[in-house]
Structure 1
């Protein structure tokens, strides 16, 4: 894990692949809980029997938004940003989904610091995010995650 204490330390990381998270297994229980939270119970996510028989993936798959919602959790395994009064998830740009995550796949986030800018006291950081599945080449998604930080 990398530790970032201030704007200058962040700026030095611009253009750097800073690391990858540990592997996280997305199981059927997590998929079902996400379906309950978002009211999205489409059978491709929640009906294991039907998905095995009728889906082209022969398995249920995680919601795309479930995989995106893991970004803050996985990012905190890669970097610890200290001396901040606030951190804001500002957005995701240039997002492209590449493949679905089947139930029980293990995923990891790879992060590259693309840009770091000080906007009158608010530090805007764009992190290139790539979610990968263990033992597969094609990413689940790629995109630029935008964080805003207020350092002390």
Structure 2
């Protein structure tokens, strides 16, 4: 599939939020009944202003059809290395099953390499078995147990 990658802009927020809400788990996290609020705008600005964060959109035919966020993290471990955290991966329903996810991860991994990262990591909700299988197919290994604490 012929696609273009670019950094997300504030004008993309509506489409991005709809993609984030377009599954059973996302629908619980996002509220499409409200308009774009200050929290979303502030989050977008914080991501844009942070040199260690990148929010990418994927376009085809002038429409945004995918998104992902990359966060570059310095560590003292692994001899002071950098790693890349991939989050917020979404593909519009109309474009799923066409190999776009693999292309998006190639892009993300290339970005991580270009930033000098020696590790790429991600988290995925255990309630997303298809996503877990997809990540394993790409070579990711479920090597750690993750924990969250809601505040």
What TM-score results when the alignment is normalised by the length of structure 1? 0.26
Which one scores higher on RCO, CA 8 angstroms, separation ≥ 6? 1
Q: Which has the higher helix share?
A: 2
What TM-score results when the alignment is normalised by the length of structure 2? 0.26
